Structure 1
């Protein structure tokens, strides 16, 4: 399969839903023409329906938008702008899980019942684990999105991931934080699958290297973070590893600043999405950032293609853009080898697949479907009055590769 170049600025995307074009009587302007939520789905001889379940609304909606934009760009790239593989149209059917696992499971059951053999998406780790269970029960291919919980890797033979996982985040921090042996580390995060996954990863990576690891986990619905900031100070750690996502990010960082946490202890965290760059306040230059992705992190043709495509569509390359883009590449590759309905053939095609993504060289590890990929270290610098990420180092994929799940 030939992978194409970015769509030139001003050129409209071709629709991947021929039925939708005929019904509307106009040229669709999106890579994938998605029907209204709740409409009928199913595949015919010339169309493969892919059920994309993601956060269109809810606390992770901004991440969901970046994922969707990247997915549309990735499918366009992988199909040379046609939305087709060997004459078969790939139709992305988007639905909103709002970050709710029960709702996502209902959407998955509807899609599977309508004949879809491929599912993709979700930002929430808790939702991804529930969708992985549905994939196994119904023997369909599932390519999870930005959900980072390590438990997604190796959960079953039907589940793959298109983004990084928590272990890779923590291993990146460990690669430039110096010798962890003898240090006391506190993980500060939300009490959900993402936060708990980070605690487990820090214990595995830094704890395994000799650090003592403790945690301060905050209820997901909390809005006042001062008491938790005080608990960090009371623990008197050498390092605080912050794992946070969602619309309370700014309030959390403000609480840490107000309680003088940065004056007392070194803090590291993952670089968030573009909207969060201004959320660190006076602590911006005091934080060491591990980075999954930012627009200028990688210098390669695929990243250039994605950035150009998004800019032409009025969007911006963001934290989870590559997760969507890679999902588009994986979907196209699976359909090319398995036709969209032979699940075993699609699984075999993805296992061990090596390809170039926006971040660089990627490998789908055959043993457990981990996505082996480079990571980045970054700082935020002032550029024209705006905090802007600056690359410090690219961390080799092998350096941060998680151990094979189950071994």
Structure 2
């Protein structure tokens, strides 16, 4: 039967093992399989796993070797802040729009200032006092009350820091979903649903940190409740490592455009109705002849190059002529293709999964996602129509 001490030791070891394992796996994968624009993502993830590994090693040292921890506690302190910042920079880079400014170094400088202040303060506090705070698991030492409170409040700071950066990551994700829908037609990968799960897990790590304000560290460390955030971290590592390895994401990238080209396209005068109608017929003939929507990885830049135009012009054209964004337009064509295949006797024996892939969907899950999306839009349109009719009837009366 497993003892409580063994479970505590395993709990501290699990995040270290998982983070370092993920670091090694991503390093080996990065050397062979990734695209140039994806390299910053993998570097940031490896930095994140390395930071988390060091952080939890310091946590083990805090519990099992207080003297050593007292000497290296600044490493633990900065790791608390930098781990969350690196993870946010990963989300920022993953959801970054072309032309958007780079990640601000201020996010890293603020923790350095905080830790710098603590380091200077620690230089005037005797080593024995610092060791006593560690060994007593947060005892307030007479004469050093303010320092003792700051020394033991790091978990509370971590919880607050976690909330701030998780909220920032949520905001980034919402903006990304609005932009990627006009860039990629892969509804499954562009949704980044696994990132949503990562952020939910990140928030689940906040309560244990905030509990440090109510209970002493002695109680928290001896409680098996501490295993919950440790297990959640391992799950988080597995999710991010798997999805990055299988490429379950889309980096918005416009390699063929310059700002001058975009500005030139946007400054062109509006065309008359006959010209637009002619362009629409030409565009539809091209789409139905070449059927680019059968490519599950189709991006608007791919279609723009094939049609010898600019992606801004193409995006604006689709929005104006069809009343939908690029992703909606392409996935609507895929749904029509799937309907055609289902009515084809030659495809009668094929499963829905096979038909979905033949229609251009990356997988069956992507098809289900698109089907729900269009179904929801149809319901909303019907609700708006009913409301308009009802309003008209009331006004008539």
Question: Quick check: which one's helix share is greater?
Answer: 2
The structure with the greater share of residues assigned to strand is 1
Q: TM class by shorter-chain length?
A: under 0.3
TM-score (norm 1): 0.24
Larger radius of gyration: 2
